[in-house]
Amino acid sequence: MDSNVNVLVVSAHAADFVWRAGGAIAKYVKHGANVSLVVLSYGVRGESNDLWNVPGQTVDNVKAVRRSELEQAAQHLGVKDIELWDFEDYHMQITEERMDRLTKKIREVKPHHIISHGPKDAFNPDHEMVSDYVFRASVLSTSNGVQLEGYPTAKQARLFGFEPHQSEISDFKPDVILDITEVYAQKEAAMNCFKAQQHLIDYYGAKAKLRGNHARRCSGNNEYKYAEAFSRFFPYVGGELV
Amino acid sequence: MDSNVNVLVVSAHAADFVWRAGGAIAKYVKHGANVSLVVLSYGVRGESNDLWNVPGQTVDNVKAVRRSELEQAAQHLGVKDIELWDFEDYHMQITEERMDRLTKKIREVKPHHIISHGPKDAFNPDHEMVSDYVFRASVLSTSNGVQLEGYPTAKQARLFGFEPHQSEISDFKPDVILDITEVYAQKEAAMNCFKAQQHLIDYYGAKAKLRGNHARRCSGNNEYKYAEAFSRFFPYVGGELV
Amino acid sequence: MDSNVNVLVVSAHAADFVWRAGGAIAKYVKHGANVSLVVLSYGVRGESNDLWNVPGQTVDNVKAVRRSELEQAAQHLGVKDIELWDFEDYHMQITEERMDRLTKKIREVKPHHIISHGPKDAFNPDHEMVSDYVFRASVLSTSNGVQLEGYPTAKQARLFGFEPHQSEISDFKPDVILDITEVYAQKEAAMNCFKAQQHLIDYYGAKAKLRGNHARRCSGNNEYKYAEAFSRFFPYVGGELV
Amino acid sequence: MDSNVNVLVVSAHAADFVWRAGGAIAKYVKHGANVSLVVLSYGVRGESNDLWNVPGQTVDNVKAVRRSELEQAAQHLGVKDIELWDFEDYHMQITEERMDRLTKKIREVKPHHIISHGPKDAFNPDHEMVSDYVFRASVLSTSNGVQLEGYPTAKQARLFGFEPHQSEISDFKPDVILDITEVYAQKEAAMNCFKAQQHLIDYYGAKAKLRGNHARRCSGNNEYKYAEAFSRFFPYVGGELV
Amino acid sequence: MDSNVNVLVVSAHAADFVWRAGGAIAKYVKHGANVSLVVLSYGVRGESNDLWNVPGQTVDNVKAVRRSELEQAAQHLGVKDIELWDFEDYHMQITEERMDRLTKKIREVKPHHIISHGPKDAFNPDHEMVSDYVFRASVLSTSNGVQLEGYPTAKQARLFGFEPHQSEISDFKPDVILDITEVYAQKEAAMNCFKAQQHLIDYYGAKAKLRGNHARRCSGNNEYKYAEAFSRFFPYVGGELV
Amino acid sequence: MDSNVNVLVVSAHAADFVWRAGGAIAKYVKHGANVSLVVLSYGVRGESNDLWNVPGQTVDNVKAVRRSELEQAAQHLGVKDIELWDFEDYHMQITEERMDRLTKKIREVKPHHIISHGPKDAFNPDHEMVSDYVFRASVLSTSNGVQLEGYPTAKQARLFGFEPHQSEISDFKPDVILDITEVYAQKEAAMNCFKAQQHLIDYYGAKAKLRGNHARRCSGNNEYKYAEAFSRFFPYVGGELV
């Protein structure tokens, strides 16, 4: 694995990066890549159902809980460069200022890989919105004519999409199945930081095994135990058949 | 590039492997891979239109011409392990014996990559048939229960599909765009062996430049001048995001 | 649940009906439906990899083992009307005689529901072939002009497709997610009859939980724990919005 | 038919609910369901072409005519709970306030079924916009974190999409074909309230017969004379194969 | 309309050409085109349900009835060059001899347009088979290497697909909507020759009106009353934007 | 070719109309059609990369250069009715006022054909936005209820979409392949006005030859040398099979 890469992960809500790319993050960190994480919102309105069952719950408290959970999870994955942009969720709005902000972030990180939500998520409009947001900002980031003082243009990154929760009805096709066996314990530890969402811990644990099964079947390599699936926004381009 | 790989190319007719994967073949050969080529038919009925304009033309003569051309082309690409199976074309028929033959060939070559026709070709039923043939034989090649004396099972190969002549109406999506800049001169020389088909030499020359343009745009790497596109039968599985 | 229905299950290989529809079968049997099962082949060549690792293995022995396993599994599911047609697999061939045989079976059973393989299975050509076979026989079964002495025509059945092993790359979309919570213990017992395939027992156990999660999310009904997914060949037709 | 259900119908313009779901509405009302209808606009700009041919026509008069027609039509269908939100059409805009309004309506009605426009309508951007609006509001309606004083969260409803006017080029696939034979006379009476649009009365009369033909063919049930088709936003989830 | 064209219509069963292209045939004949019709089978097994309800019915009698009906219908449409190839239907088999026969027919007719079944028909495997048959023969007909004594090669024809009975679930998209207003009375008379199939006469009458409505909407031309829809196998190529 | 038609071309940026429809424009002008061109933006931010490499570059200077280039190009194509609307690009915003402006333009031009960007462009959000903008304005332009003083409604135009730069990953299917052989020299001259973008001149030159090859293959007409491909928003409607 090439250790000399920059990776930018953009997560719509507090926990998306853990369920959907925790293994990829841990693996890239482990092999020396520079991984930057942007969490756009705490998911207060749309992804904190369990917390709102507590009587007297407040927005500030939900944010504090989600922040604490996600920071612990990030620690398990080894990612240190984290930004929390605290957008309101459900439904997220993208202004011009926010577009510029992400464009600058991309120009700053100069990512080889950007990992975020894929274009369709049948039950989650925020995820679709973020997918479009990341794609558009990546287009702006490479364009000479988009002049942002102090932020010279970046080279085109590879864009990867998370697997959505209900893959088939979200038209998800796995383009890349990434072996995460060597870091799966870290992903498990990170998932366990979201105690109130035991059903998701179970779900994504089972998912990692299923994708591991697919990885073995497609490759004939029986050492793959756990895997994560991603879509690709554009074709793979390079010097080998992969 | 990993030099330690086995590559099997299966070409329906005499020239398909040149137009559609000449660059990939030359590149793999150059970097030390073991490349085996199976040409299923001479394309006497379906892909020798120009030769049949010669008065008094015969099947044997067409075969001799096509054989000579393809052998010269293969030489330019550097591939030495060539088999000509001489099936009748338009429309090719697959018998059980032919299925066994290809299954054995796969078990013998033990390819990491198989490159052949993709599942759909809007104007060419033979190409579709060969795609299915190669896929089915690859399934048989990995199965313990398919006992073929002297041919132990192979590990699952990666299957890649050629770009068909009219890509969009054949539902072709490029999954892999392979840079062939360093070997393009060889591909050009190989294409020039098919003198009677100047329109195809022009066509695939233009195509290589177009795919080169796409390669630069998708990667930001301006050293890519010429490229070939392939589809993938299954997702990429491995240890990195590619 | 309507107990007064006839269900026909057609399984390409010995274990397909268990992994993919064991819950549906057990549930229909439990509620009093007449469930008939046709197993077309023992899966000797294509789906008995583990057995062929045993030195000195023979076709007859593989058949005996698969037969014993599938009969035990069927017993756990409660299905008694079983036929084993012993076709050779990988790759299955459909003759006119076999087409007539299945047409007669459909006319005999007069199924309201036929459950079999869906039209696409990216890694398994037999499954695709059986899907087509079942569909064609169902068409013949309803046609007055197809005269089969002693077998009067049947009414059009609803056709349901199993979820294939790798759903997304087989273009599978779940049209029906069937709650199997009340019979899941039976499915688990049936799966455990295939001891040599522990990886599949794990896989389909995890799958049942994932589909249970989807069932809860799509319906808001938290009593759904385990589920199976099916595609539909035709639209639902009836008197309610379901 | 289960009489104990709540149904919410959301119609972009004054007559959409009649052409596209008049049968479904009449049937649910007849069997005792609670049917609520929201008509978002009068269709003054986009769906009142005939009225604007009258010299001296005014917006207020068009609204009055459309209102009168739709109220008569609703009476024929038996639906009493009607709200007219009087949005401007062509092209409708959804504000945050409107999003909240529909979210509250869903929480109030607590629908088992929501029937509205499907995601694509090749000639009608308003219909696509409403489809998205209804979907997004339904997501908000189930989320604990979306706190709307006095409106506790609802359970996830089933979402059904109307058949668009030009089905194939709008990528419409019928997932449910609903028999409306027993209430077809009511639908006809309701359609006849839109006198100025005789071409649509003819069109949707013919359509009901065509869908009736499909209903017979797919089911073998020859009592189906008239039908309406709907798409489903998510898979069917439940205890039976339907 | 260009009167100087050759049109070949290939109909799987006795009545397909009437329901699906009766208007196109009548129109081309009327404007002076040379229209040739090949009817591959009488539809004895698959499309003569009503006749088989007559006690004591025989194959020969069914054929005689279907022949008489189709000849009367053809007369109404004005087509005189008819061939009845009397293949067995349900399920039709294509041999090499039959492939040659159709290839010769195409080379003989030298059609500018071939009209036959489109690639998918969800309820009718014969129609799909014929679509493939016609396409393959058209490929052979243009190839110099396919030497058929006395039948020199033809130029590539435009291929058009009939609208299948259930369009959406057969993935049919109308590429061409042909105005048949001026000859609709002839189509109606032709349809009325199939007295026993009143439900189809009703169905295709309603269909012609629906397509007429679409024709008006897509073109703004209100003189279109009746229309037929066709798919195209390949893009339109020519000197204008149409 | 019918000379009596009105054609409206809407180009997102300064050069789009040249690369993608230069041949179509020149051809329609040559044959006497009334061709109107609207260029929405100069492409300052997104499509002037090369100019921004010049030290001290300014927005005003970029606009002046692009304006000069596009006017020269238009002259080569023979189009005189040009409007430059000077919207900011990357990312273009459509206001209600802009929607009215284009609606009025359509009502003024009364186009038979509108040529603009197709619905998807994988790398260019502006192109997608313009596609939607043109479609929506065309809907408004035909509606009686959209009252715009001095601009009576237009008849429904045919809408054609440009071929996007990377066709397959933009889901582009060529519906119409237009022969531009007789005006290709003009297109070449027009392309050469964009000197700084030699890579695009090469690219679209190669593309025109490839589409010419497809034109020959699909039609059997060997006089087609150069072509442009377009998608269609709706089916072709008319009196012939084309």
List pLDDT tens digits, range C39-93: 999 999 999 999 999 999 999 999 999 999 999 999 999 999 999 999 999 999 9
Which residues in chain F are closer than 8 Å to A235, comparing Cβ atoms? Answer: 169
**CA separation for the pair E15, E165 (Å, rounded):** 13
- Asked if B143 and C49 come within 8 Å (Cβ–Cβ), the reply is yes
Which two structure tokens, joined as six digits, stand for F208?
């025109």
Alpha-carbon span E136 to E94, nearest angstrom? 11
Contacts of C220 (CB under 8 A, 6+ apart): D142, D155, D156
Where helices occur in chain B by DSSP H, the ranges are 16-30, 59-77, 96-109, 125-141, 184-191, 198-219
Cα angle for residues B207, B38, B29 (degrees, 5° grid): 65
Rounded CA separation A159/A134 (Å): 9
B234 vs C122: CB contact, 8 Å cut-off? yes
Looking at chain A, the whole-number percentage of residues with pLDDT higher than 90 is: 97
pLDDT at B1: 72
Q: Are the beta carbons of A241 and B113 separated by less than 8 Å? A: yes
Burial of B222 (0-12, 13-18, 19+ CB in 10 A): exposed
Q: Is the pLDDT confidence value at D2 over 80?
A: no
Residue-wise pLDDT for B2-22, tens only, equals: 778 999 999 999 999 999 999
- Tell me which residue in C175, C215, C241 faces D160 most closely, judged by beta carbons: C241
Report CB contact under 8 Å: B125, E136.
yes
Query: Which of D135, D146, D233 lies nearest to residue A90, judging by beta carbons?
Result: D146
| B124–E139 C-beta distance less than 8 A | yes
Residue C196 pLDDT > 90: no
Whole-number pLDDT of residue A2: 72
Report the C-alpha gap between E75 and E96 in whole angstroms. Answer: 32
Distance CA C212, CA C216 (A): 6
**Distance (Å, rounded) from C-alpha A73 to C-alpha A191?**
7
What pLDDT score was predicted for residue F102?
98
CB contacts, 8 Å: C49 with chain B: 143-145
Cβ–Cβ contact C99 with E under 8 A = yes
Extended strands (E) in E126-226: 158-162, 176-179
Q: Which two tokens stand for residue E153?
A: 């090669």
Of E177, E215, E241, the CB nearest to F178: E241
pLDDT category of residue D196 using cuts at 50, 70 and 90: confident
Question: Is the pLDDT at B88 greater than 90, yes or no?
Answer: yes
The closest alpha carbon to D49, from F113, B47, F156, C141, belongs to: F156
Indicate the residue of A168, A203, A209 with minimum beta-carbon distance to C167: A168
> What tens digit of pLDDT does each residue of D15-55 get?
999 999 999 999 999 999 999 999 999 999 999 999 999 99
Nearest to A210 among C172, C203, C217 (CB): C203
Contacts of F235 in chain D (CB under 8 A): 169
Mutate to test the interface with F, among E27, E181, E242 (most CBs of F within 10 A): E242
* Residue of E129, E219, E226, E206 lying closest to E165 (CA atoms): E206
Å between A192 CA and nearest CA of chain D: 22
Minimal C-alpha gap between B178 and chain A (Å): 5
Write out pLDDT tens, residues B107-161. Answer: 999 999 999 999 999 999 999 999 999 999 999 999 999 999 999 999 999 999 9
Tokens coding D117? 């426009």
* Shortest Cα distance, chain D CAs vs residue E206, angstroms: 5
- Neighbors of chain B by Cβ distance (3+ pairs < 8 Å): A, C, E, F
Residue ranges of the alpha helices (H) in B110-152? 125-141
| Count of Cβ atoms closer than 10 Å to residue A58 Cβ | 11
Q: Which of C165, C169, C202 lies closest to A173 in CB terms?
A: C169
Q: What is the pLDDT of residue E4?
A: 86
CATH class of E6-232: alpha beta
Closest CA of chain C from E24, distance in Å: 29
What is the sign, positive or negative, of the torsion defined by CA atoms of E140, E141, E143, E148? positive
For the stretch F137-186, pLDDT in tens is 999 999 999 999 999 999 999 999 999 999 999 999 999 999 999 999 99
Tell me the DSSP string of F50-113: TGGGSTT--HHHHHHHHHHHHHHHHHHHT--EEEE-----SS----HHHHHHHHHHHHHH--SE
Check if the beta carbon of residue E114 is closer than 8 Å to that of residue E8.
yes
Please answer yes or no on whether B174 and F168 come within 8 Å at the CB atom. Answer: yes
F226 neighbors E208 (Cβ within 8 angstroms): no
Chains B, C: CB contacts within 8 A come to 40
With CA atoms as reference, the chain C residue closest to B232 would be C169
User: What's residue D4's pLDDT?
Assistant: 86
- CB-CB contact of C174 with D237 (8 Å): no
User: Which of E134, E144, E158 to substitute to test the interface with B, most B CBs within 10 Å?
Assistant: E144
D49 → closest Cβ in F99, F135, F143: F143
Report the C-alpha gap between B138 and D195 in whole angstroms. Answer: 64
At D78, which amino acid appears?
G
Q: Compute the distance between CA of residue D218 and CA of residue D211 in angstroms, rounded to an integer.
A: 10
- Cβ of A145 within 8 Å of Cβ of F91? The answer is no
Which residue type occupies A48? S
CB-based contact (8 Å) between D214 and chain A? no
Cβ atoms of D117 and D134 closer than 8 Å = yes
Q: Cβ D167–E169 below 8 Å, yes or no?
A: no
Query: Given this model, what pLDDT does residue C3 score?
Result: 75
Say if E95 is an interface residue toward chain C (CB within 8 Å).
no
Task: List pLDDT tens digits, range E66-108.
Answer: 999 999 999 999 999 999 999 999 999 999 999 999 999 999 9
DSSP string, chain A: ---S-EEEEEESSTTHHHHHHHHHHHHHHHTT-EEEEEEEE--TTTS-TTGGGSTT--HHHHHHHHHHHHHHHHHHHT--EEEEEEE--SS----HHHHHHHHHHHHHH--SEEEE--S--TT-HHHHHHHHHHHHHHHHHT-TTS--TT-PPPPPPEEEEEPPSSTGGGT---SEEEE-GGGHHHHHHHHTT-GGGHHHHHHHHHHHHHHHHHHHHHH--TT---EEEEEESS-EEESS--
Percent of chain F with pLDDT strictly greater than 90: 97
Strand (E) or helix (H) holding E25: helix E16-30
Per-residue model confidence as pLDDT tens digits over F46-93: 999 999 999 999 999 999 999 999 999 999 999 999 999 999 999 999
Chains C and F touch (3+ CB pairs under 8 A): no
Nearest to B186 by CA among B22, B13, B11: B22
Peptide bond into D91 cis (omega under 30): yes
Spatial separation of the C-alpha atoms in residues B176 and D119, rounded to whole Å: 32
DSSP C47: S
**Looking at residue C128, what is its pLDDT?**
98
Q: Cβ F143–D53 below 8 Å, yes or no? A: no
Q: Which stretches of chain E drop beneath a pLDDT of 50?
A: none
pLDDT band at F44 (very low <50, low <70, confident <90, very high): very high
- Tell me the torsion sign for CA atoms E213, E217, E218, E223: positive
Which chain A residue shows the shortest CA-CA distance from C214? A166
Cβ density class D61-73: b for 16+ within 10 Å, e for less: ebbebbeebbeeb
Give the model confidence (pLDDT) of D153-180 as tens digits.
999 999 999 999 999 999 999 999 999 9
Residue A166 touches partner B, C-beta closer than 8 Å: no
Asked if the Cβ–Cβ distance from C214 to A167 is below 8 Å, we say: no
Which among D236, D241, A162 is positioned nearest to C174, based on CA atoms?
D236
| Contact yes or no for F236 and E177 at CB 8 A | yes
Model pTM score: 0.97
Amino acid letter for position B165: H
Q: Is A140 in contact with F53 (Cβ distance < 8 A)?
A: no
A and E adjacent (3 or more CB pairs under 8 angstroms): no
Contact A217 C123 (CB under 8 A): yes
d(CA D7, CA D158): 10
User: CA torsion, points A159, A165, A167, A172, in degrees to nearest 10?
Assistant: -10
State whether residue A139 sits within 8 Å of chain F by CB: yes
Q: Do C90 and B140 touch (CB under 8 A)?
A: yes
* Contact present, A and F (at least 3 Cβ pairs less than 8 Å): yes
**Do chains A and D have 3 or more beta-carbon pairs under 8 angstroms?**
yes
Minimum Cα–Cα distance from D229: chain E residue: E168
| Contact of D40 with D15, CB cutoff 8 Å | no
Cα–Cα dist E123/C234, whole Å: 9
C144 in reach of chain E (CB within 8 A): yes
| Cβ within 8 Å of A, F 20-59 | 43-53
Nearby residues of E219 by Cβ (< 8 Å), 6 or more positions away = F156, F237, F238
